[in-house]
Each structure stands twice: as C-alpha cells, then as structure tokens.
Amino acid sequence: MDDRPYWPRMAMAFLALGGLINSSYLTIHRLRPTQSAPLVCGVVGNCEAVQASKYSVFPPTNGIPVAYIGFVGFLLLVVLSVLSLQRSQIGRFSLPTINLVLASGGLAFSAYLTAIEAWVLHEWCQWCIISAVVAVLFWALAGFDWWQARRSVDSESLEPANATAV
C-alpha cells in the first residue's frame, strides 16, 4: 500500500460527483424536452440554443447526446475515484494511470465543446461551463495523484536496495 495523500482522490470523487449531478440535469432535460419549454431565448448564456444545436450530439448531427456522454463519463469517474481510495490497481492496470487517461479524454472533449461554444455557436451554456471547469480541476488532481503514485512506486522500488545496505 502506498502512502500517497488521500485528499486528491477524495476531491476527485467530489468533483466527479458534481459533474455527475450537473450532467444528470442536462440528461433529464434531454430525455423529456417537451415537458420543459424555456421561458426565454437569449443570445447570452443560452443553454437551449446550445442543447438544440447539432453539436449537442457527438459526433455532430447524428450521434449520442453529449449530456449522456457526460453522465456516463462522470459516473465512471466517481466510481474510479472511490475505488482508487481502496486499491491502486485494476488487474494489471494502475488506477492513477486509468484516472489520468480518462481525465485527459474528458478534458479534451470539454475543450472541444467549449471551442464549439466559443467559435461556432457563439453561445454559452452555464451547465457546459461548469462541466468544463470540473473536467479541468479533475484532470489537475488526477495528474497530481498520478505523480504522487509514481513517486511512491519509485521510492518503494528503492527500499529493498536500502534495506540490504542497512
């Protein structure tokens, strides 16, 4: 068992949970759009426009709604963050590495969606921005945790050498 700090993984779990709650809101709206007509159509902070655009599914036009992708992705990150508090491996894969790889994928996807909002739709949706912020913070923490795990593995591999020396 390595002795790296718990707090990054705990913070990751909370962040991923926040992302999950956020994306579940968008998912519900996606599932029952006829029941939730918007009150206004705005050109600033317009979630309806973003959700109604062809980029709200991935790949664009005929893909899976990004709200669903976010929901599944954040759910996976919650499970993995909690799991990584209990163990450091899944099979032969290191959990911190899995977390960092998935977080990087999530970050890249968020960057793509934010770029669409900024340069294609010229529309902003506060829920998408929250999701992007969560993705950035989660990635930073996953990176830190991965670095800590690597450091403790390095020091563990040094220990036997020290032991024989003593």
Partner 1 sequence: MSNTPKPRQGRQRVREKRSLLPFYLMLGLVGIVGLTFVFIQALQTPVAPPSASIPIRPVINAAIGQTSEGYWYKGDPNAPIKVIEFADFECPGCRQLEVDLANANFDAEYIETGKVQWIYREFPLRSIHKSAQYTAEVSRCAGDQGVYWPVHMALYDSQLQWTNLDNPNPLILDAAVKAGANLDKLEDCMDAETHTAAINASYDSAKSLGLDQTPTVFINDDRINFVGDFYTDLKLAIDAKLGVTP
Question: Which chain residues interact with partner 1 by CB under 8 A?
Answer: 6, 10, 13-14, 17-18, 20-21, 24-25, 28-29, 32, 34-44, 46, 48-49, 52-53, 78, 82, 85, 121-123
Q: Which is nearer to partner 1, 17 or 104 (CB)?
A: 17
Q: Which is nearer to partner 1, 104 or 152 (CB)?
A: 152
- The residue type at 140: A
CB of 14 to partner 1, least distance (A): 7
DSSP state of 123: -
CB of 53 to partner 1, least distance (A): 8
Q: How far apart are CA 124 and CA 78, in angstroms?
A: 26
Q: How far apart are CA 88 and CA 10, in angstroms?
A: 14
Q: How far apart are CA 134 and CA 14, in angstroms?
A: 10
Q: Which is nearer to partner 1, 36 or 126 (CB)?
A: 36
Q: How far apart are CA 115 and CA 109, in angstroms?
A: 10
